[in-house]
């Protein structure tokens, strides 16, 4: 069932009594900002070939709705740490992006116009981004050891799981049997894919998030698991996309 997260039974005041460690709160700020940036991604996508498919636009509308409430839920955690959250924080982020946010729809439109396989690329990127986001939530919940945060993130992850199902199935459908779609998507992934939020968040914040959540044996195992899922999509085996990004972020740290 699509909808706003049910948070009525969560005791957010617990964060006042048992706050998150600074490193984990910093990751949560990143997640809050990126979830709230989903509206801007939707704006960009509706300027592309994705707009031609009414099923895709229906999915994107519901996806955006749920992602907005994920940001609001994470904002509750920030609020109970005495931090700025919600519209005030999001407005500051958008001002910081400046001309990049203004021009990004043009770049998306140009890419969409350049290839008839844009939808395959988009669905594949969506699946990978949702896989890595879900992995990040799982890692933060585990590392924090905070029962309320773990519960909240599990609820978000369940909704992200439905998003994954759609993105993955459409990506597989569009890639299957089309060598051209597979070549275009592989090329786009190799040259354009970055960890979720990397294009809109400051580089030190992306590096901190990746290093905190995915460094060490358990984190790398999670990254390798996502790579194995990518390998199962038609024509995309052997990219090593997520572990490669992890290694680059660790070198940058």
Would you say residue 66 has pLDDT above 90?
A: yes
Cβ–Cβ < 8 Å for 31, 74: yes
Closest CA to 53 of 97, 107, 112: 112
Pick from 108-112, 115-119, 213-217: least confident: 108-112
Would you say residue 102 has pLDDT above 80?
A: no
pLDDT tens digits, one per residue of 163-177: 999 999 999 999 999
The CA-atom distances, in angstroms, between 41 and each of 11, 61, 78, 196 are 31, 11, 23, 12
Domain positions in the chain are: 20-252
Residue 99: count other Cβ atoms within 10 Å of its Cβ.
7
Amino acid 141: pLDDT: 97
pTM > 0.85: yes
Would you say residue 253 has pLDDT above 70?
A: no
Q: Fold for 20-252, please state it.
A: Ribonucleotide Reductase, subunit A (1.10.620)
pLDDT tens digits, one per residue of 47-59: 888 888 899 999 9
Cβ–Cβ < 8 Å for 182, 235: yes
Measured distance CA(225)–CA(221) in Å, rounded: 6
Residue whose token pair is 């949560």: 28
């Amino acid at each position: 069932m699509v909808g706003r997260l049910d948070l009525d039974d969560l005791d957010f005041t617990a964060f006042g009594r048992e706050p998150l460690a600074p490193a984990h709160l910093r990751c949560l700020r990143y997640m809050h900002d990126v979830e709230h940036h989903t509206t801007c991604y939707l704006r960009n996508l509706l300027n592309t070939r994705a707009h031609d498919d009414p099923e895709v636009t229906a999915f994107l509308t519901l996806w955006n709705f749920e992602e907005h409430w994920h940001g609001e839920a994470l904002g509750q955690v920030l609020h109970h740490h005495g931090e700025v959250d919600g519209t005030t924080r999001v407005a500051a982020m958008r001002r910081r992006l400046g001309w990049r946010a203004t021009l990004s729809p043009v770049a998306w439109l140009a890419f969409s116009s350049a290839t008839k396989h844009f939808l395959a690329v988009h669905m594949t990127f969506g699946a990978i981004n949702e896989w890595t986001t879900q992995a990040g939530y799982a890692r933060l919940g585990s590392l924090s050891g905070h029962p309320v945060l773990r519960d909240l993130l599990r609820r978000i992850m369940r909704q992200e799981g439905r998003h994954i199902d759609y993105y993955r199935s459409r990506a597989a459908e569009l890639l299957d049997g089309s060598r051209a779609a597979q070549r275009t998507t592989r090329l786009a992934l190799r040259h354009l894919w970055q960890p979720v939020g990397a294009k809109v968040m400051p580089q030190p914040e992306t590096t901190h998030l990746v290093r905190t959540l995915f460094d060490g044996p358990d984190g790398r195992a999670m990254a390798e698991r996502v790579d194995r899922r990518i390998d199962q999509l038609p024509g995309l085996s052997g990219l090593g996309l997520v572990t490669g990004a992890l290694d680059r972020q660790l070198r940058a740290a």
